[in-house]
Amino acid sequence: MSGESAKVFVITGPSGVGKGTLIKQLLERVPDLALSVSATTRAPREGEEDGVDYHFLTEDQFQERIGAKDFLEFATYSGNHYGTLNSELDRCLEKGRSVVLEIEVQGATQVRAARPDSVQIFIAPPDESVLRERLRGRGTDSAEAIDRRLKTAEQELAQQDDFDHRIVNDDLDQAAEELESIVRGAVGPEA
């Protein structure tokens, strides 16, 4: 998966739908893929490492990077800023590696405009109640934060038809299979 076939894959969908879980499986199934590390002003969760899970920035640092036009896209989500740094993308693409962005829906829409050649994949839940169960089960967000994320999810789900591909993450293995097949289909047989 290198050279001219290097692609940008945008994986989006509501919080708790299983994007992170599916991407982890995707990276095991297609090891040549690189994952872009986003910047955020959100506080690190327990176990999260700066430069690995996110580039954790202060509000001032984030605004400075916006001013310097360092972001391919950025958005405010649940009271915090998140963004994809152009340098992250370039770092991967320059090595000829396809790159995966795990981002929310506003950012995905910006990437579609900036890079129409990107492959956009929306991960949907089997139904909305599953999102609450998964967010609760994950145990990383307060009850208030979960409510905020579920409210945003309603708006995000309303946009799912705008994306190139839609995968329902009900059975994890089946969803991972579908994701792998979309990615391999886009990069060609040598992947």
Where do contacts with ligand 5GP occur on this chain (CB under 6 A)?
15, 19, 38, 42, 73, 75, 77, 82-84, 102-104, 106-107
Q: For 23, phi and psi rounded to 5 degrees?
A: -65, -40
Binding mask 18-57 for ligand ADP (x = CB under 6 A): xxxx------------------------------------
- The residue from 1, 17, 124, 191 that contacts ligand ADP (CB under 6 A) is 17
Among ligand 5GP, ligand ADP, none, residue 21 binds (CB under 5-8 Å by kind): ligand ADP
Q: Output 39 or 175, the one with its CB closest to ligand ADP.
A: 175
DSSP class of 32 = T
User: Minimum Å distance from CB 64 to ligand ADP?
Assistant: 28
Binding mask 144-163 for ligand ADP (x = CB under 6 A): --------------------
Asked if 92 and 5 touch (Cβ cutoff 8 Å), the reply is: no
Specify the amino acid at residue 95: K
165 touching ligand ADP, by CB under 6 A: no
Look at the alpha carbons of 160, 9, 30, 187 in this order and tell me if their dihedral is positive or negative: positive
User: Minimum Å distance from CB 22 to ligand ADP?
Assistant: 7
Q: Output 87 or 181, the one with its CB closest to ligand ADP.
A: 181
132 touching ligand ADP, by CB under 6 A: no
Beta bridge partners of 82: 40, 75
Letter string b/e over residues 82-100, b meaning 16 or more CB atoms within 10 A of that residue's CB = bbbbbebbeebeeeebbbb
Q: Output 82 or 122, the one with its CB closest to ligand 5GP.
A: 82
Look at the alpha carbons of 54, 57, 63, 67 in this order and tell me if their dihedral is positive or negative: negative
Give the list of residues 6+ apart from residue 111 with CB closer than 8 angstroms, or none.
8, 10, 72, 73, 84, 101, 103, 118, 120
Cα separation, 35 vs 53, in Å, equals: 10
User: Minimum Å distance from CB 102 to ligand ADP?
Assistant: 7
